[in-house]
Amino acid sequence: MRFIPKLGLETSHGWGLKGFTRDELDDIHQASLQVFEEIGIRVDDCEEALDIFAGAGCRVEKKSDHGIVKIPAHVVEDCIRWAPSTVNWKGRHPDGDYVMEPRRISYATFGEMVNIIDPKTRKLRQTTMADSGDIARLCDAMPECGIVQRPVASMDNPLGTQPVYNAVSLFENTSKHVLIGPMNRANFDIIARLAFAHVGGEENFADRPMFSCIVCPTSPLRLEKDCAEMIISTARLKGCGLLTGPVPLTGTSTPVTLAGTVISANCECLAGLILAQLTRKGTPVFYSQVGTIMDMKLMTAAYGAPEMPLMSSAIVQLSQYYKLPSHCTGIHSDCKELDPQTGYESAMSAMTMALTGANIINGLGSIELGLTFDYAKFMLDIECARNIRQVVEGIPVNDGEKALNIMDEVGPGGQFLANRHTFDNMRRRSQADLFSRHSRRAWEDLEKPGLVDRAYDAANEILDNYEPNPIPESVREAVREIIAEYEAAQQSA
């Protein structure tokens, strides 16, 4: 057969979802501008932030311990334009770099869980600094993880110091870009010094900014003192990125309606972005939200609820509207152990977020309302993510994919199994690693452990054998000196 190629054919480039029309996105944006100009943002006890806003032409109404900032529309829209749309989020080693651009989808763990199912004993316990490092190694080994978000709290260290010890464990155990929440400006400064040690000095950080700062504007419409100060410090550290991730809960900290919650969260995201851009134009910003509904019967934040991916998808679409990198909460479950609920909730959420085009979908390994990390769920989430990728990539239609020449070669009534074309392309199709596709008889003959046991075994195999890019001893010594100085300061405070 002879084929003449077609020219100028419109293609899909994968499948996706569009929950809002352009008119609806414009409406949300206009409503957000109205909030900024007429209601304003509360900034707590941070004169530095209030001065920055005032210097840009915002109206600042000062109270005894806070200020209300009214932001003109042109300031909002200028700041959105100043933030870069495509960012190379660099790790401590080039192998860990991740270019975040539209429709590039990746995954991460949820942030700072306080409990863990121990992978050896299978018992629930509090998280430690060692757990933080182990999970970072697991993420480092997985190509599905574009960045490493601080997964658990170092509960074996004093409250308030945990972010610093998290940073030590994360920087050591991954080459990928790290997202970490310092909690306050003092911790940010120490974490920055740790990063400088890994990249060969402060003068090299702008070329290899290996971490970004997580801040959580408070719903409704509030930048607390520590949040505002961390935004300013992040923006002043050239190259350092910022994630603004409010935690709206419908009916409590935001309106019970989803549209009202989305507008509130949008303003909170933008408030952090605006302060960052007014501090230094071009500061890279992840556009994010990590909220959900409040279950009014149980008074719990329901991370497995269907509204959670709806809210996150709305923020992703707004990030695309504003041409900003996105990071949203997904692949969560409210279950307390791995059961059918886990699979239903996680897959529903992750598929929705991936089809919307989120750059980072966080929640790998998360159960129990985002409080507990489970290694088996992490491994199953990774397998789910691989299958979702197959769906989102869609079905390309071109002369090579139509394979008419192969059909002609095989002919009616033939078979494709032994054809070279099948051999050359078979690895493009999805593979089952932990999930079972065996026939019942083959499955019974294998006598393998159950799915959850297989997932724990796979995690333990990585923990026992995988090593990230090594750190020079000179860097380890510099880290030890910084931490010794930090601990001495803590003891004398």
Buried b / exposed e along 143-155 (16+ C-beta atoms within 10 A): ebbbbbbbbbbbb
Q: What is the pLDDT of residue 6?
A: 60
Supply the pLDDT for residue 412.
95
Our CA angle for 470, 480, 478, nearest 5°, is 70
Question: From CA 214, how far away is CA 82, in angstroms rounded?
Answer: 20
* pLDDT, mean over the chain: 93
For tokens 């090593």, the residue is 467
Q: Does the pLDDT of residue 344 top 60, yes or no?
A: yes
Residue 219 sits in a domain whose CATH number is 3.20.20.480
Radius of gyration of the chain (CA): 24
Percent of the chain clearing pLDDT 70 (strictly above) = 97
**pLDDT at residue 437, rounded to an integer:** 87
Is the predicted pLDDT of residue 9 greater than 80, yes or no? Answer: no
What pLDDT, on a 0 to 100 scale, did the predictor assign at position 163?
Answer: 96
Domain extent at residue 409: 399-428
C-alpha span between 180 and 149 (Å, rounded): 6
Nearest-CA neighbor of 149 among 85, 103, 89? 89
Q: Is the pLDDT of residue 4 over 70?
A: no
The mean per-residue pLDDT over the stretch 336-353 comes to 93
**Residue 1 pLDDT exceeds 60:** no
Tell me the pLDDT tens digit for each residue of 118-129: 999 999 999 999
pLDDT in tens, 81-102: 999 999 999 999 999 999 888 7
Q: Is residue 177 part of a domain?
A: yes
Is a pLDDT exceeding 90 seen at residue 32? Answer: yes
Q: Is 80 helix (H, G, I), strand (E, B) or coil?
A: helix
Angle (CA) 264-270-274 rounded to 5° is 145
Is there a single domain that holds both residue 192 and residue 138?
A: yes
Q: What is the pLDDT of residue 8?
A: 60
Give the pLDDT score at 413: 93
For residue 443, being part of any structural domain is answered with no
Q: What is the pLDDT of residue 164?
A: 97
What is residue 399's predicted lDDT score, i.e. its pLDDT?
87
Q: What is the mean pLDDT of residues 254-280?
A: 97
Residue 428 has pLDDT above 70, yes or no: yes
The domain boundary residue, chosen from 366, 393, 420:
393
Contacts of 419 (CB under 8 A, 6+ apart): 406, 409, 410
Whether residue 299 lies inside any domain: the answer is yes
Same-domain status, 384 and 403: no
Q: 220 preceded by cis ω (within 30°)?
A: yes
SS3 sequence of 291-340: CEEEECCCCEEECCCCHHHHHHHHHHHHHHHHCCCEEEECCCCCCCCCCH
- pTM of the complete model: 0.93
Task: Answer with the one of 385, 408, 428 that is the final residue of a domain.
Answer: 428
- Residue 374's pLDDT band, with cuts at 50, 70 and 90, is very high
Segment 416-435 shows an average pLDDT of 89
Q: How confident is the model at residue 78 (pLDDT cuts 50, 70, 90)?
A: very high
- The verdict on 245 and 372 lying in the same domain is yes
What does the pLDDT read at residue 442? 85
Mean pLDDT, residues 339-368 taken together: 93
Nearest C-alpha neighbor of 457 from the set 364, 363, 379: 379
Residue 77 CA, distance from chain mean position: 25
Domain identity same for 49 and 191: no
Provide the pLDDT for residue 155: 95
Q: How many CB atoms lie under 10 A from the CB of residue 72? A: 15
Asked if pLDDT for residue 379 goes beyond 60, the answer is yes
State residue 2's pLDDT score: 57
Write down the pLDDT at residue 361. Answer: 95
Q: Please tell me the distance from the alpha carbon of residue 343 to that of residue 332, in angstroms, as a whole number.
A: 9
Q: Is residue 10 part of a domain?
A: no
Whether residue 446 has pLDDT greater than 80: no
Rounded distance between C-alpha atoms, residue 47 and residue 49, angstroms: 5
Task: Tell me how far apart the alpha carbons of residues 474 and 198 are, in angstroms, rounded to a whole number.
Answer: 9
DSSP letters spanning 117-136: E-TTT--EEE--HHHHHHHH
pLDDT value at position 173? 97
Q: 298-333, pLDDT tens digit by residue?
A: 999 898 999 999 999 999 999 999 999 999 988 989
For residues 419 and 299, membership in a common domain is answered with no
Euclidean distance between CA atoms 492 and 489, whole angstroms: 5
Q: Are residues 352 and 226 in the same domain?
A: yes
Q: Which of 330, 324, 337, 311 is nearest to 388 (CA)?
A: 330
In this predicted model, what pLDDT tens digit does every residue of 215-246 receive, in sequence order? Answer: 999 999 999 999 999 999 999 999 999 999 99
Both 89 and 31 in one domain: the answer is no
Other CB atoms within 10 A of residue 248 CB: 28
Euclidean distance between the first and the last CA atom of the chain, given in angstroms as a whole number: 82
Q: Note whether residue 457 is domain-resident.
A: no
Q: How many percent of the chain have pLDDT more than 90? A: 81
Domains contained in the chain, number: 3
Q: Please write the tens of the pLDDT for every residue from 103-122.
A: 789 999 998 899 999 999 99
Residues 236 and 273 placed together within one structural domain of the fold: yes
Tell me the CA distances in angstroms from 18 to 171, 317, 321, 323, one per residue in order.
37, 8, 12, 15
Amino acid 11 reads T
Q: Is the Cβ–Cβ distance between 247 and 219 less than 8 Å?
A: yes
pLDDT digits (tens, 9 = 90+) for 160-185: 999 999 999 999 999 999 999 999 99
Residue 125 belongs to a domain: yes
Question: 183 and 108, same structural domain?
Answer: yes
Statement to judge: residues 353 and 296 lie in one domain? yes
Whether the per-residue pLDDT at 486 is higher than 70: the answer is yes
Tell me the C-alpha distance between 126 and 260, whole Å: 36
Backbone angles phi, psi at 288, to 5 degrees: -145, 165
Same domain, 56 and 114: no
Asked whether the beta carbons of 12 and 394 are under 8 A apart, the reply is yes
Whether 489 maps to a domain, the answer reads no
Is 465 part of a structural domain of the chain? no
Return d(Cα 252, Cα 441) in angstroms, integer.
Answer: 53
What is the per-residue pLDDT for 111?
Answer: 85
pLDDT band at 400 (very low <50, low <70, confident <90, very high): confident
User: Residue for token digits 């939200």?
Assistant: 289
SS (H, E, C) 142-175: CCCECCEECCECCCCCCCCCHHHHHHHHHHHHCC
The angle subtended at Cα 405 by Cα 401 and Cα 411, nearest 5°, is 120
Residue that finishes a domain, picked among 36, 64, 79? 79
Q: Are residues 367 and 416 in the same domain?
A: no
Q: Which of 146, 151, 172, 177 is nearest to 163 (CA)?
A: 151
